[in-house]
Amino acid sequence: MDDLLPVLQESADRLRGLVAPLSDEQLSAPAYPSEWSIAQVLSHIGSGAVIMQRRLEDGVRGEPTPDDFAPSVWDVWNAKSPRSMADDALAADRALNERLGALTGEERGATFRLGPIELDLAGLVGLRLNEHVLHTWDVAVAGDPSSTLPAEATGAVVDNLGFVARWTARPTGADRLIVVATAGPERGFTVTLTPESAVLAAADPPGAPDLALPAEAFVRLVYGRLDPDHTPPVSAADGGVLDELRRVFPGP
């Protein structure tokens, strides 16, 4: 976990720098995706921080988090004004990061349940990092269409894509293996498609890749954020492979 916390803090600092100068009007402007405002993206980050901190405290105490806790938090945040969404999100984000940094050695050994999934602390922090980095991009790209994910954050998130893909990957009806190679950092992946399933796995590419692209772009692809207007140059074995992967990964 210790290698993830500085990256999470850097993402929080980046978010704060993006949000601090925004006016109320700018907070109400579209983010990415466009059906969300920037304030609503921040509300998601803030409510996520509150929910994660509760899961953290419950896990440390060995207690389950009530099923109705998350919906109750969302109700509170959905009722906030755009300015309150922004200000309270930055405050909740800071409080969570401070708590994570203050965990004792014994507390770090706790486990946490998310539905049927049990995670250790590194797994929990990894999920927060993924969410934070991608939603910070959702805010950044609204003001700068050329925005990309930071290099250090990409290096951490690209190795933690399996969890989100497990829940969001969709079959396209095809029956094929797609091999992906990334740069910055160099990684290999396979996407195994059957008519009933779609599975992403980290793997050494068996031969020439079907798709080669920057790692930050692949992260955004898996999170449904690589539309044609935000796609860097890629190398594809055929013209349809990227579009097919966009269908596999429509986004959370």
- Model confidence pLDDT, tens digit, residues 117-156: 889 999 999 999 999 999 999 999 999 999 999 999 999 9
* Continuous H helices in 36-150: 38-61, 69-78, 82-101, 121-143
Q: pLDDT-derived band of residue 115, with 50, 70 and 90 as boundaries?
A: confident
| C-alpha pair distances (Å), 75 with each of 43, 71, 102 | 11, 6, 29
Tokens read off for 201: 């796995």
Secondary structure class of 217 (helix, strand, coil):
helix
Protein fold of 5-147: Four Helix Bundle (Hemerythrin (Met), subunit A) (1.20.120)
How many Cα neighbours within 13 Å face the side chain of 243?
A: 3
pLDDT of 90? 98
- On average, the pLDDT of the chain sits at 95
Distance CA 35, CA 205 (A): 37
Contact 165, 193 (CB under 8 A): no
Q: Which two tokens stand for residue 214?
A: 């920057």
pLDDT at 252: 67
Digit-coded pLDDT (tens) for 92-108? 999 999 999 999 999 99
| Predicted pLDDT of residue 207 | 80
pLDDT per position as a tens digit, 161-218: 988 899 899 999 999 999 999 999 999 999 999 999 999 999 987 788 999 999 999 9
Average pLDDT of 236-240? 88
- Nearest in space to 61 (alpha carbons), one of 110, 102, 99: 110
Peptide bond into 209 cis (omega under 30): no
Q: Where in the chain is the domain with CATH 3.30.1050.10?
A: 159-248
- CATH 1.20.120.450 domain extents, the chain: 5-147
* Cis-peptide into 33, omega within 30 deg: yes
Q: In whole angstroms, what is the distance from residue 42 CA to residue 62 CA?
A: 30
pLDDT greater than 90 at residue 237? no
3-state secondary structure of 167: helix
The CATH homologous superfamily for domain 159-248 is SCP2 sterol-binding domain (3.30.1050.10)
Q: Look at residue 114 in the predicted model and tell me its pLDDT.
A: 80
**pLDDT at 206 (0 to 100):** 74
